[in-house]
Amino acid sequence: MEVDQVVPLPRLPRVAVCGGTHGNELSGVYLVRELLKLQREVMKKEQEEDLKPASVLLVLSNPRAMQQCRRYVDTDLNRCFTHATLNGPLSDMAPYEIIRSRELNALLGPKGSPAAVDLVCDLHNTTANMGLCFIAYSDCDWICLHIFRHLQVSNTASYFSEIFSYSLDSVGKHGFAMEIGPQPHGVVRSNIYTAMKVGVQHMLDWVRLFNSGFVDVFTMVKHIDYPRDSETRNITAAIHPCLQDRDFCLLHPEDPLFQTFSGETVRYKGTEPLYPFFINECAYYEKGIALSLARKRRVTIPAIRVTTVLSPCSPKSVTT
């Protein structure tokens, strides 16, 4: 499907990463467990520093099947997310996965509603030699396609879509399964686990970039030379130890700048905090530059697209 205009899309503040939908596909199980551990450590640090907590929801989808190291207990959980299954009558003898699908729908959905999470990434393994593969229920979900392309830059990856939206990843506003193989069920291979871990990290990096819509840019303000002898022009001080190796760390007025060879501290006398860079660069001694100072500002990134001419009389463009 070809699009010749920029498509505006809302941010993705709520992202879910799910593992163990099939209980014997262990890369996702171990990865989500590891991410949960890291998330607890990060959230503890954020709470201590009064920062906004992480917004990624990590889910172990099928705990009973994971415990038994089986694909499923009663029925395939990843076929239980049709509207009929999620909203139909529920008997006392309902299979475990039918009950679990409704719990997951309440957590991540409800499916098709504005309250659903913005993106679901469901982690799977295959015994087939498919490498890193994206499976989505739409071939025109621009979010999933852009994430796929972002991963494709550094990975050999494939993408295909299904016509049926019965899987867990269909509960979110956007969603896909990340399928990686070959890996036998019931075991975990280090290279496959690592490939999945890298893929998930790239996906989350893309979401953060997409949500931000801007980049931090440092604009050079001035250079500062070393203190020098007025007659010989030899330097009389070195970069202060408190400043050395702190490129792009904010330098405030009266912060230590140089330490003279006689042991005195020379302080920064600027009128505003600035960001130093190229601190003590060897090649800049001859240029009379001890460090450079810059202001930081955030630049909003507009959408861009590559213009391609399909024929001399019919120019078209595709989004990037």
Distances (CA, A) of 125 to 8, 29, 68, 172, 264: 33, 10, 17, 21, 63
51: confidence class by pLDDT, cuts 50, 70, 90: very low
Q: For 260-294, what is each residue's pLDDT tens digit?
A: 999 999 999 999 999 999 999 999 999 999 999 99
| Residue ranges of E strands in the chain | 15-19, 56-60, 119-125, 131-136, 157-161, 174-181, 214-224, 237-239, 256-260, 265-267, 275-277, 291-300, 305-309, 315-319
In angstroms, the CA 217 to CA 155 distance is: 28
Per-residue pLDDT at 151: 84
Clarify whether residues 93 and 192 are in a common domain: yes
End position of a domain, from candidates 162, 192, 212: 212
Q: Quick check: is 55 in a domain?
A: yes
CATH of the domain at 45: 3.40.630.10
DSSP 274: B
Q: Quick check: is 70 in a domain?
A: yes
Q: Quick check: is 142 in a domain?
A: yes
Count Cβ atoms below 10 Å from residue 154 Cβ, excluding itself.
10
* Residue position matching structure tokens 């302080």: 267
Tell me if residue 281 is catalytic.
no
Q: Quick check: is 20 in a domain?
A: yes
Split into its structural domains, the chain has a count of: 2
pTM value?
0.73
| CA 233 to chain CA mean position, Å | 50
Q: Is 25 annotated as a binding residue?
A: yes
Clarify whether residues 19 and 150 are in a common domain: yes
Token pair in block for residue 238 = 């070195």
What end-to-end distance do the CA atoms of the chain give, in Å? 14
Q: Is 22 annotated as a binding residue?
A: yes
**Cβ(266)–Cβ(227) under 8 Å?**
yes
Per-residue pLDDT at 33: 97
208: confidence class by pLDDT, cuts 50, 70, 90: confident
Sign of the CA dihedral running 220, 222, 226, 232: positive
In angstroms, the CA 153 to CA 24 distance is: 30
Clarify whether residues 119 and 238 are in a common domain: no
Clarify whether residues 226 and 166 are in a common domain: no
Q: Quick check: is 159 in a domain?
A: yes
**Cβ(284)–Cβ(278) under 8 Å?**
yes
Q: Quick check: is 158 in a domain?
A: yes
Clarify whether residues 200 and 239 are in a common domain: no
Q: Quick check: is 243 in a domain?
A: yes
Q: For 84-122, what is each residue's pLDDT tens digit?
A: 999 999 998 999 999 999 999 999 999 999 999 999 999
CATH of the domain at 258: 2.20.25.160
Token pair in block for residue 99 = 């009950």
Of 41, 162, 179, 281, catalytic: 179
Residue-range definition of the domain harbouring residue 271: 215-300
Clarify whether residues 207 and 225 are in a common domain: no
pLDDT mean over 21-31: 97
Judging by DSSP bridges, how do beta strands 174-181 and 119-125 pair with one another?
parallel
Q: Quick check: is 311 in a domain?
A: no
52: confidence class by pLDDT, cuts 50, 70, 90: very low
Buried b (16+ CB within 10 A) or exposed e, 4-15: eeeeeeeebebb
Clarify whether residues 167 and 273 are in a common domain: no
**Which of 233, 214, 226 minimizes the C-alpha distance to 296?**
214
